Amino acid sequence: MLISINSSYVVVYGKRLVRSNEIVVLERDTGDIVEQYRTGLLARLSGGRL
């Protein structure tokens, strides 16, 4: 798991071998989820998001 932080947001990147990878963007002040993406195995193999 990778975590990046700036003054406004926290970005969490969860990397999994078989299941979908997940990227979650949280607002730092409130902890609310701003954006959430899942990238499946087929999308990773093809080089993009499906």
CA dist., res. 5 & res. 10, Å (int): 5
Radius of gyration of the chain (CA): 12
The secondary structure element, H or E, covering residue 23 is strand 21-27
Q: What is the pLDDT of residues 2-50, one digit of tens each?
A: 999 999 999 999 987 777 889 999 999 999 999 998 887 777 677 765 5
CA dist., res. 17 & res. 34, Å (int): 25
4: left (phi over 0), alpha (psi -120 to 50) or beta: beta
pTM above 0.75, yes or no: no
- Other beta carbons within 10 angstroms of residue 24's beta carbon come to 15
